[in-house]
Amino acid sequence: MGHEFQFYSEAGLPVWTGIKASNLRSLQNGIRRVSGSSIFYHVHHALLRRHFTAAEYMNDFARWVWLHLNQPALAEKLASIDPWDFTSVRQVRERLLEYLHTYVGEMETFFRVPERDEFQFLELRSVVFPTGLRARDLRSFHDALQKVGLGSLFYHLVEARLRLGRLSNDFSEWLSERLKEDELAERINDLSPYAYNLWQIRDKIVEMIETRLS
């Protein structure tokens, strides 16, 4: 990571995979088969699409199990999968399969939904691009942060965990490594997008920096 912080953004478009699920068993098979970018789309990217519903957020799998398979207990389990807790898509896939395995093992018959209600697995083609915003110190970081969009917050906070391979984010890494702002970095890393929407997280970070600068 260079001395300057460069704000990137991420945007993606879903592609149809042709893989569908009509019951728990086929959902399990689908989750096993699909690419990592499909799991990313249905768990992580769902958070971006519905970020303002943070308090009620449910990933696409949980929502489908709840609405179409009418399995609220399993839906709750699947909904508890918080992208913030994982550093790889593989871990997310394993956790999904673990929860599904328990339920599939307990059931002998599988309710099948009509064709129109099938779960359609999509995968994401993402593009990461520079926003042109940069920061050299805490003040310019504070100023730039107020100009970045949702895609940028998602890239540096949520997707960063997968890229870095650890429970951290780009903002915290840079603040800690380059500006030695360890406490600030730690507090930012505690702001789960499962609890706050991305705009609220941005406002909270801005507020924290303002307190630090005052």
Partner 1 sequence: MKTIRLDEYAPLVGAEEIAEIRALAACLGSVSLQHINSTSQGGGVAEILSWLVPLMQDVGIDARWTVIEGSAEFFEVTKAFHNALHGMSVEITPEMFALFREVGEQNLRKVDGQADFIVVHDPQPLGLIAAKRQGGATKWIWRCHIDLSEADLRVWGFLRTYVERFDAAVFHLPEYAKELPIDQFILPPAIDPLSEKNRELDPSEVQAVLERFGIDPEKPIVLQVSRFDRLKDPVGVLEAFRLVRRSHECQLILAGGSAADDPEGAQVLAEVRERAEKLPDVHILDLPPTSHREINALQRAAAVVVQKSIREGFGLVVTEAMWKGKPVVGSAVGGIRRQIIHGVTGFLAHTVEGTAFRIRQLLSHPELAAQMGWAAREYVRTNFLLTQYLKNWLLLLLTVKHPWRGSKQWAVFAA
Nearer to partner 1 by C-beta: 42 or 181? 42
Is 107 or 127 the residue whose CB approaches partner 1 more closely?
A: 127
Buried b (16+ CB within 10 A) or exposed e, 96-119: beebbeebbeeeeeeeebeeeebb
Q: State how far Cα 37 lies from the chain centre.
A: 12
CB atoms within 10 A of CB 6: 15
Sign of the Cα torsion 22, 28, 32, 36 reads positive
How far, in Å, CA of 116 to CA of 55, rounded?
A: 29
With respect to partner 1, which residue has the nearer C-beta, 126 or 192? Answer: 126
Strand partners, 21: 119
**Which of these, 149, 161, 29, lies nearest to 87 by C-alpha position?**
161
Which residues of the chain form contacts with partner 1 (CB under 8 A)? 6, 8-16, 18, 35-37, 40, 49-53, 56, 63, 67, 116, 120, 122-132, 147-152
Find the largest Cα–Cα distance for the chain: 63
| Complex with partner 1: residue 102 or 129, whichever CB lies closer | 129
Cα separation, 83 vs 195, whole angstroms: 12
Nearer Cβ to partner 1 (40/99) = 40
